[in-house]
C-alpha cells in the first residue's frame, strides 16, 4: 500500500464504502482501540475509486462526505471517478501478477458483486475488516443478501454501502391497473406491443430485469441460495433465454434495438 491501511478502515466506517484494497489477510491488532485507529487516520489521504456517472452520487461524496470526513477526522477524501470499476479491478490484478504489493493507486472501491467476487478470488482485498467497524452493529449479517454478494460469501472483506431494488414506475393516466407480478408484466407486454422495453445488459437495470425473468421461469428463488447446481442453472438459463426471445417481438421496436 502507498499509504497507511488504518485510514482505510476508518473511512469505511464513516461512509459505508464496500471494499478496501491491501494485503490479503491483513488485520488491525484486536487490542487496538477505535480511538487509536482514529488518531492514526489524522492527516491521511484516501483515493476512492467509484463509478463517476451519477451526478447525485458525485455530489453526495464531494459535497457532503468529503467535507465531513475532513472536518471530523482530518482525512482528505479524493473521489476518483471511473466509467467501469472492472477496469480498476483488472489493473489491480495485473499489478499483483507483476509482484507489486506496495504503491498501488486504489485505496477503496465502490464495487458490485461480480467485481467483488473477482477481487476476493484473486486475493486483492484487505481484511477481513468489517467486523471491526463500530457501525457493524447496525448491519444485519444474518440476511443472505448481506452475508453474500453475487453468491459469494462476504467473510468480512466488504462493508455494505447500500442496496438497490427494481421499482416499476407507470403513468396512472394511461394505465389504471399495473401488473402486480412479473408474470403479469410479461402478459401485459404481449397484450400491448411496442410499449415496453428494457436496457440491454450489462446495463445494471437491464441485467436486473433479466435476473427477475430467470427467477420467474425457474419457479423458486430458494433454489439458488445454496450450493451451485450446474444442471439446474443450465435448465433455468435455457428457459430464460427462450422467454426473452419469445418476448422480443412485442418490445419497443420489436426488440431489434434496446435503450
The pLDDT of residue 155 = 93
For 192, the domain range is: 182-255
Q: How many CB atoms lie within 10 A of CB 32?
A: 14
Tell me which of 137 and 14 has the higher pLDDT: 137
The pLDDT of residue 33 = 80
- 104-124 tens-digit pLDDT: 788 899 988 889 999 999 999
From 109, 135, 153, give the residue that closes a domain. Answer: 153
- 119-135 tens-digit pLDDT: 999 999 988 888 888 88
Tell me which of 170 and 25 has the higher pLDDT: 170
The string of DSSP letters for 105-116 reads S-SEE---HHHH
The pLDDT of residue 105 = 80
Same domain (yes/no): 47, 121: yes
The pLDDT of residue 184 = 95
Please indicate, yes or no, if residue 174 is contained in any of the structural domains.
no
Please indicate, yes or no, if residue 177 is contained in any of the structural domains.
no
The string of DSSP letters for 27-86 reads ---TT--HHHHHHHHTT-EEEEEEE---HHHHHHIIIIIHHHHHHHH--EEEEEEES-HH
Rg for the chain, CA atoms, rounded: 22
Same domain (yes/no): 140, 244: no
How many domains does the structure of the chain reveal?
2
pLDDT at 26 over 80: no
- C-alpha cell of residue 4: 497507511
Q: How far apart are CA 154 and CA 144, in angstroms?
A: 10
- 185-240 tens-digit pLDDT: 999 999 999 999 999 998 878 988 999 999 999 987 777 877 788 999 999 999 99
- C-alpha cell of residue 7: 485510514
Q: How far apart are CA 214 and CA 217, in angstroms?
A: 5
Q: What pLDDT band is residue 30 in, cutting at 50, 70 and 90?
A: low
Q: 43 CB contacts (<8 Å, ≥6 apart)?
A: 74, 75
Please indicate, yes or no, if residue 170 is contained in any of the structural domains.
no
pLDDT at 75 over 60: yes
Same domain (yes/no): 24, 104: yes
Q: What pLDDT band is residue 22 in, cutting at 50, 70 and 90?
A: low
Whole-number percent of the chain with pLDDT over 90 = 49
pLDDT at 243 over 80: yes
Same domain (yes/no): 149, 211: no
Read off the CATH number of the domain in which 126 is found.
Answer: 3.40.190
- Average pLDDT rounded to a whole number, residues 27-52: 81
Please indicate, yes or no, if residue 162 is contained in any of the structural domains.
no
- C-alpha cell of residue 171: 403513468
pLDDT at 36 over 90: no
Please indicate, yes or no, if residue 69 is contained in any of the structural domains.
yes
pTM of the model: 0.71
Same domain (yes/no): 110, 188: no
Neighbour-count burial of 11, counting CB atoms closer than 10 A to its CB (0-12 exposed, 13-18 middle, 19+ buried): buried
Q: How far apart are CA 115 and CA 208, in angstroms?
A: 16
Q: Find the helix or strand (DSSP H, E) in which 48 lies.
A: strand 45-51
Q: 153 CB contacts (<8 Å, ≥6 apart)?
A: 147
Looking only at the bridges linking them, the beta strands covering 45-51 and 108-109 are parallel
Please indicate, yes or no, if residue 164 is contained in any of the structural domains.
no
Same domain (yes/no): 133, 202: no
Same domain (yes/no): 91, 200: no
Amino acid at each position: 500500500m502507498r499509504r497507511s491501511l488504518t485510514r482505510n478502515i476508518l473511512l469505511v466506517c464513516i461512509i459505508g464504502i464496500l471494499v478496501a484494497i491491501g494485503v490479503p489477510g491483513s488485520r488491525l491488532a484486536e487490542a487496538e482501540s477505535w480511538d487509536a485507529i482514529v488518531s492514526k487516520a489524522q492527516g491521511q489521504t484516501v483515493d476512492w475509486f467509484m463509478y463517476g456517472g451519477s451526478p447525485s452520487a458525485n455530489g453526495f461524496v464531494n459535497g457532503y462526505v468529503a467535507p465531513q470526513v475532513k472536518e471530523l477526522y482530518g482525512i482528505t477524501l479524493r473521489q476518483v471517478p471511473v466509467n467501469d470499476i472492472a477496469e480498476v479491478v483488472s489493473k489491480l490484478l495485473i499489478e499483483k501478477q507483476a509482484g507489486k504489493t506496495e504503491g498501488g493507486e486504489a485505496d477503496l472501491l465502490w464495487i458490485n458483486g461480480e467485481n467483488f467476487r473477482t477481487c476476493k478470488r484473486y486475493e486483492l482485498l484487505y481484511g477481513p475488516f468489517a467486523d471491526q467497524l463500530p457501525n457493524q452493529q447496525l448491519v444485519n449479517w444474518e440476511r443472505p443478501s448481506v452475508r453474500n454478494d453475487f453468491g459469494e460469501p462476504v467473510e468480512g472483506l466488504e462493508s455494505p454501502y447500500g442496496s438497490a431494488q427494481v421499482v416499476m414506475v407507470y403513468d396512472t393516466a394511461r394505465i389504471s391497473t399495473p401488473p402486480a407480478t412479473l408474470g403479469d408484466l410479461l402478459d401485459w407486454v404481449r397484450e400491448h406491443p411496442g410499449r415496453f422495453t428494457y436496457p440491454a445488459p450489462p446495463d445494471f437495470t437491464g441485467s436486473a430485469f433479466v435476473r427477475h425473468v430467470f427467477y420467474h421461469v425457474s419457479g423458486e428463488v430458494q433454489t439458488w441460495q445454496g450450493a451451485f447446481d450446474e444442471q439446474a442453472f443450465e435448465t433455468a438459463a435455457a428457459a430464460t433465454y427462450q422467454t426473452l426471445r419469445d418476448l422480443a417481438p412485442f418490445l419497443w421496436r420489436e426488440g431489434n434495438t434496446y435503450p
